[in-house]
Amino acid sequence: MGRMLDFLKELLDDTTSSLPDVLPRRAFGSWGYYVDGRIFALAYAREDRLGVKLPDSAAHAAARSLPGASEWAPHGSPMSGWVLLPAEMLDDREAVQAWVARAFQLVRAVPASALRTPGKRAVKGPGATSKKTPRTPGSGPKRAAARKKASPRGAR
């Protein structure tokens, strides 16, 4: 790990130490901080900054209005609700803690289904249950492709 990533992780470790049920783990080549299986903060190594997930539009707008703040757009397209905090804020632990705590509260308050992107799977956390729909035998895309190949063309 690089020195800056170590610093960002330590900063997030400190600012989340009083928050319940926080689980740090590797995410996006950096460190993500999760509650109830959902990410709310990120030590983003690529830009040496902290990111927070703010699913509330007023909180998101307030964070974006901070001088030096920006959208988190790891592949050129902004990630919904994410803000990279200003680099200058790293020297102000109280400000970082306030934004991280706000992200924690907002993400925890939003139902898991509301944070999902259509077509994407939600991150499972401790205590999460899976509600899989039973599949009918012989169904699914692999079975359909196998049936297509097995069917002789032009057979009379």
The stretches of the chain forming alpha helices (DSSP H) are: 3-16, 57-64, 93-109, 112-115, 141-150
- Note if the pTM is more than 0.85: no
The count of structural domains within the chain is: 1
pLDDT tens digit string along 78-113?
888 999 999 999 999 999 999 999 999 999 998 766
pLDDT tops 60 at residue 45: yes
Residue 134 domain-assigned (yes or no): no
Tell me which of 27 and 42 has the higher pLDDT: 42
Give the residue carrying structure tokens 């993500």. Answer: 32
pLDDT tops 60 at residue 131: no
Distances (CA, A) of 62 to 73, 102, 104: 18, 12, 16
By CB atoms closer than 10 A (0-12, 13-18, 19+), residue 8 is buried
Residue 55 domain-assigned (yes or no): yes
pLDDT tops 70 at residue 12: yes
Residue 45 domain-assigned (yes or no): yes
Residue 108 domain-assigned (yes or no): yes
Q: Measure the CA–CA gap between 94 and 11, rounded to whole angstroms.
A: 11
Distances (CA, A) of 58 to 24, 48, 86, 132: 26, 25, 18, 35
Distances (CA, A) of 21 to 17, 83, 100, 144, 147: 10, 22, 14, 44, 48
Q: Which domain holds residue 98?
A: 3-115
> What CATH number is given to the structural domain containing 26?
3.90.1150.30
Over pLDDT 90: what percentage of the chain?
55
